[in-house]
Chain A
């Protein structure tokens, strides 16, 4: 663990030693974990405002004092990019919020985003020493968000030092978290960076997928503006592989290309009636609402509105869809998931919020058919009840059908959220590129370099559906190795 190297907040710094003596372990562990202030469920389903309001400075300092500043902090090993977690938390404890943000940014390009959307309960917080004492872990995610937001709202955003321009042009394909963090790191190193985005908005899933009530666009916009200020150029409405070919990029003088095109393709289950009107992918539903403004006055794009909405799946995308449907005015909203709640891949907080908002959870239920009314619009669904069998290869207990236990549920909108496959556009357009059987781009895990010398890749196009922090980490790793290769 490089807890003491390359950081502005090493553990052996005098101020940290002093802080450790400020309170005894007993005093620290006696403090209860902070509660995130949230909008009232009754109110929040009527609007798109962010549910989590963020903790204030006083709460943050108290929460930060719970952290014991362990000599061998396990939280850091739980973080996919090994953020110096005690380093930023101790800065909060001593009241230097700006310095806390600086520590975060040493490792993370998007702390305000990750503080909101990371599954902390499975990562950093799952390793916190407090679990050994049967207590709730330090609220690392809340603190991360606090430090990042405080910096952002202070108007005093730490400007990264930018190396002299080296005249080398690099291209980025896709503007999701992987592409954005790569762009930032390369710009800092003096490269001329151009980001090509297929859609008419910059931000990838952060814009078209994750809803405003969980991740406000303004938070993402600040990051993008920051990159613009660093000289990163964004070209939207440009599909690499279609508008511009790989060869075109070379002709335009790009010496390195980072592909961060995400896992775009929605999966369907292939059951009867899935192409009926009123059955759609979560990507379509969320894109219509988040990117295209469906449901808002003065926006042209429509979206089907349902009174009884079923969302199929148990991941973050399913939770976002079901909570969006609630906000769009649905009276009955249901999650239909074929395993039990314990196996749900969604963040625990999303499940909690969904329940507070009146979402019904039909776990151990699997759709097998959709039926239509006489206009071809979905009107009911048949679901098979399941029970848990033996654990599968991932250790998840696989569901098995209970014979004869089939239920018919009336629905007028179904949102299918059973996963995505890697976007095949780039692999199809660049035939020499090595891909896996699943369609992901094959890279060297330490350098993120593909089978083509000048092409690197990261994020969901390499991992299949993963997380924001992993995508961000890939972008940074690719930047480091591409910069080294191009500087030779």
Chain B
């Protein structure tokens, strides 16, 4: 049982929870995720660790209410408990000073991107962050990414904030303007697919973080499997980050629809 210490609404459907998990706070690195369960009959739901505070023994989760389970988690309040939190899972992000890094996040994907932006900046990279969402009120964590970004570009589908256009328009603009050494993309699978197609065209190495369906998160079930360069890989232990140019996104998109 893990106590919820703080809650904040980033938008109508996106909630930040600060949760007690001292052991995980200590051992997690950027890129890691946890699996949580709300209720004794709850599902095991993977969520990225957006931040951690070793002193307070807490981790921060940012959750978008999509279906039944994420709604249940988002409905919890400070003082309530998550039934289970296990982690940190997955491989940590490979952080290195490569030069200029474009970090692009869509929707709730900005939350897992935040620790990577921080770490990339601290490693000495020039960081250009592209945040994208359908409209202004769905843009999250802008204030938190600014201190660690040399530039922040905001894209909305409807033009209600920043510039009108898709995340790919923002990324392409930067690539055309200056030399980009790496792109990191986290967001809906369909967005990552198009970012990947774009950066492949320009030959810019691209890392994506995949949000497949999972059960155990420890390699036991294979629910999270995807195809990378023709080989089956498990996102929970081999990932969640992969070379985007090698991922079969169409298969992943199809597998995400298993239960919808």
Contacts and interface: CB of A to CB of B under 8 A. Distances in A.
Contact of A287 (B27, B37, B215, B258): B215
Interface stretch (A43-51, A76-84, A272-280): A272-280
Interface stretch (B49-57, B169-177, B249-257): B249-257
B24 interface: yes
Nearest to B90: A242
Contact of A423 (B39, B88, B219, B232): B219
B223 interface: yes
B43 A274 contact: no
Given A281-B222, A292-B215, A299-B41, A243 B23 contact: yes
A463 B38 CA distance: 36
Interface string B227-260: 1000010000100000000000001001101110
A453 interface: no
Interface string A286-299: 01100011000011
The 10 A-B residue pairs whose C-beta atoms are closest, nearest first, are A284-B221, A376-B254, A237-B86, A264-B220, A300-B43, A281-B222, A299-B41, A200-B84, A301-B43, A277-B258
A302 interface: yes
A276 B225 CA distance: 10
10 contacts: A200-B37, A238-B86, A266-B221, A268-B225, A275-B255, A284-B215, A300-B43, A301-B44, A423-B218, A425-B237
A400 interface: no
B218 A239 contact: yes
B232 A274 contact: yes
Given A243-B87, A277-B255, A277-B258, A284 B23 contact: no
A275 B237 CA distance: 17
A270 interface: yes
A283 B84 contact: no
A425 B258 CA distance: 27
Nearest to B221: A284
Contacts, number: 107
Contact of B69 (A238, A276, A300): A300
A199 interface: yes
Contacts of A298: 41
A304 B213 CA distance: 13
B220 A265 contact: yes
Contacts of A304: 258-259
Interface of A: 198-200, 236-239, 242-245, 248, 264-266, 268, 270, 274-278, 280-281, 283-284, 287-288, 292-293, 298-302, 304, 375-376, 423-425
Given A199-B216, A284-B221, A423-B218, A277 B257 contact: yes
A275 B232 contact: yes
A393 B221 CA distance: 30
Given A237-B84, A237-B85, A287 B41 contact: no
A293 B37 CA distance: 13
A243 B24 contact: yes
B83 interface: yes
A195 to B, nearest CB: 15
Given A244-B27, A300-B42, A287 B88 contact: no
Contacts of A199: 86, 216
B61 interface: no
B89 interface: yes
A276 B242 CA distance: 20
B257 to A, nearest CB: 7
Contacts of B43: 292, 300-301
Contacts of A293: 41
A243 B226 CA distance: 25
Given A239-B86, A277-B258, A198 B218 contact: yes
Nearest to A294: B43
A249 to B, nearest CB: 12
B42 A243 contact: no
Contacts of A423: 218-220
A281 B44 CA distance: 17
B41 A302 contact: no
A304 B227 CA distance: 21
Contacts of B227: 275
Contacts of B237: 424-425
Given A268-B232, A301-B43, A376-B257, A242 B220 contact: no
Interface string B128-170: 0000000000000000000000000000000000000000000
Contacts of B226: 275
Contact of B251 (A242, A245, A275): A275
A242 B232 contact: no
A162 to B, nearest CB: 29
